[in-house]
Each structure stands twice: as C-alpha cells, then as structure tokens.
Amino acid sequence: MKSRNLKQKVSFLFIGAVMAFANQGQATENVSQNPATATPAAATQTSGFVKMDTGHAVAYEYSDAGSDAPIVVTLTGLIYPLQNLQEFADGLAAKKISSLRIAFSTQGESIRKINQSEKPYFMEALNPLSPASTYLVTEDSLVEDVVAVIKSLPLKNRKLYLATLSYSGYISEALLNKHGDLFQGHLMYSPGMKPSHRYDPKGEQSHQAFVASLSFWSWNPFMTATIDKNYDISIQTTMFNVMSPKKDVPGYVPDDVTFDQFFAGIFCLARAVKYTDLTESEETHSVRTRLVLASKEDPPMLKDQIRYFFKSEATQEMFLVQDAYHGIPGAHAPIAVQLLEDFIKSSPPADKAGFVINLDGTKKSTLQIQDIRDLEASL
C-alpha cells in the first residue's frame, strides 16, 4: 500500500509538471452506484454519476461526515484521478468535514460511466476537420456539469465550500462568477493561471500571434473559425508529443478507458481554457478565497499566482507552504486539510495577508505585503 501511495503521489507531481494548463445540459438523473459504506474516518462514502441530457456523464465521490458537517466541493486537476484525493477526503472526514469530489465530464471516471458502445461526445476533437461546435467542451459547460452534480444531491441547507487545484483553478473563476451564491468560501491550491505552453517563449509568441490574427479577422467568421482550429491543432500536437510516450506506463491511462478517449478528453479540457489568463480575467464574484501555494512550484507559475493574489479582490489570504510541490491536496494531504479546516473556522482578515507555513503545519513567519512583492520580483 505504501508503494502504491508513493506511485500515486509521483504521478500527481509528474502531471503537474507536464501541464498546468459540452453542450450545456441539464442533469436528467443521478445514478448512485455504490452502496453507502463507512470509511476509516467514520464518514459515509458513496459514488455515482449524473447523466446529462447530452448523453455524457459527470462522476463524483461523496464522503458525508454528518448532516451538520460543512461540505467541501473539490474539483481536481487536468489528469489527476479522484483516487489521489482519498487521503485528503479521509483527513477532512476526521475533522467532521464532508467532501464531494467531482471529475470533469471528459476525465476517466466520467468516461467510464457512459455506454462504451457509444463514442464519447467529445471525441470529434481529434478530427482536424471537425469544427469546435461538434464537441463543445467549454468553461461554461464544465461549470454547468459541476452545478448539476451539486443540485442532484440532497445538500439543501448545507454549507458548501469550494476547493480547487491546478487545472480546476481556471474553472473556479467562471464557476464563482456565475454561481458564487452556492459557496461560503474557496480554497485555491496551486492554481493554473494560464496554459503551460505559454510559459515557453515560443509558445507565448505563438499564442500572441493567434490572438492577433483573431483580432485582425474578427469581422470574418470563417477566418476566425479557421484560426481558432489551427490553434487547437497546435495545442493537440504538443500535448500528444508529451502524453503519447507515457500511454503504456501502468496507471497512466485510467482503467477501462482507451488512450484515444483519455487523450481527447484531456485535450478538450486544455483547449477550453486556451485563452484563459487568471492574472488578467474579470472577477465579478465576492466569495472569500484563500490562496495556497507550493514553494517548489515552477517559478514563472508561482510569480503569476502571486500576481493573482494582488489582482483578486476576493483573495485576502496567501499561504506559501515550504518544501511543498504542485498539487498540494494529493501530494501533501495533511497540510491541505489543516489549512481548509482553519479557513472554515476563521474569519477573513481585514486586509490582505500572507504567511509562510511548514509542511508539518507550524507557521514559520508572517509575510508583509512588501515581502510578497519582493518574492514576486525575485522569481
């Protein structure tokens, strides 16, 4: 078991290094597949999926720590399986906090829930001649999938908190801008800021060229669609070159899912946020947010995460976890649980505040605003 957990954590970190990068439908039914069982943390655990009217499914796992317990709705990273969050969920349950973990509709757990005799709704993304309108996985569709799961469960009058990590950080702003009234607060762990290919000088140059072309041809729908599709193909090629060599590595592709399905699903998630940059996006929600960062994050990403801290009016607290890696809830579950429990129990600070905290939970120092700006400048 120890080696398996280590393998999962190594996988978690590898994926974070590789990429930090649907038709809107209403839920037609919630299918609970596993009977309620008691976890070691004394929570009742169930799993199931919500079937959308477009035919796709959104899988979830739910650990209920009691009818009065707050619920943490957790969205995962680009290719992080829900099983990587089990230690995090058990830790929350031990603190009498429930957790609802949701897989996006194009991720492995959700793909397995659809009829395998049918082609998943997003597979046309692999066809270079198919227009984007044929696979329709967007920020908005992903948001509505998440909301459909929440509304399908008997959670009325329960206090909900949102926890996001890596890729789901992109989706969090769209989710909170539209449905901020659902949540009491937001824990943002190692969030993606902009797609990882933009941290490479050539990738950023290519991105700016596509954006400039789209602006120039904005009056011509055919040209803008063609340029947008060419950008998709560029991203798809880069991702395939990264992911294809790993397809035969045990555990890389989810069980009962083909590599083509896995790759197409992940590509659709990446292309849905290809124009997203949280350091420049419009935040219209006021949901209290705590930003939790890893000291061993890639420096350009960490720099942008700190920029986001200053830009976001809803984000009043920043915790920098010493010796931590990207994907904190999976790689370092105990400190992720501690910071979330503290967030739920504490009141927001009067002004923006920053802290350095050790992996064992001891607070090392308080960061003054100038300290945080100096850190940003040094990266």
The percent of the chain in helix, strand and coil, each rounded to the nearest 5, is 45, 20, 35
Average confidence (pLDDT) over 81-102: 94
CB neighbours of residue 359 within 10 Å: 15
- Which of 114, 98, 124 has the alpha carbon at shortest distance from 50? 114
Higher-confidence residue of 197 and 339: namely 339
Parallel, antiparallel, or unpaired: how do β-strands 363-367 and 353-357 relate? antiparallel
pLDDT at 291: 97
pLDDT in tens, 155-173: 888 999 999 999 999 999 9
> Which residue ranges make up each domain of the chain?
2-195+277-378
Record the pTM: 0.88
Is pLDDT at 310 greater than 90 in this prediction? yes
Is pLDDT at 14 greater than 80 in this prediction? no
pLDDT at 253: 87
Average confidence (pLDDT) over 304-325: 95
- Which of 184, 124, 190, 196 has the alpha carbon at shortest distance from 158? 184
Residues whose CB is less than 8 angstroms from the CB of residue 289 and which lie 6 or more positions away in sequence, other chains included: 185, 186, 187, 188, 312, 314, 315, 316, 317
Average confidence (pLDDT) over 335-363: 93
109 and 76 Cβ atoms separated by less than 8 Å: no
Is pLDDT at 15 greater than 70 in this prediction? no
The 3-state DSSP class for residue 81 equals coil
Average confidence (pLDDT) over 75-101: 93
Is pLDDT at 115 greater than 70 in this prediction? no
User: What φ, ψ does residue 215 adopt, rounded to 5°?
Assistant: -65, -45
pLDDT at 12: 40
> What value, to the nearest 5°, has the Cα angle with vertex 105 and ends 100 and 106?
130
pLDDT at 134: 63
pLDDT at 137: 87
Compute the distance between CA of residue 329 and CA of residue 338 in angstroms, rounded to an integer.
11
For the chain, give the percent of residues with pLDDT over 90: 60
Is pLDDT at 31 greater than 90 in this prediction? no
Per-residue confidence band for 2, with pLDDT thresholds at 50, 70 and 90: very low
72 and 120 Cβ atoms separated by less than 8 Å: no
pLDDT at 32: 58
Q: Which CATH class is domain 2-195+277-378?
A: alpha beta
Average confidence (pLDDT) over 44-67: 87
Is pLDDT at 127 greater than 90 in this prediction? no
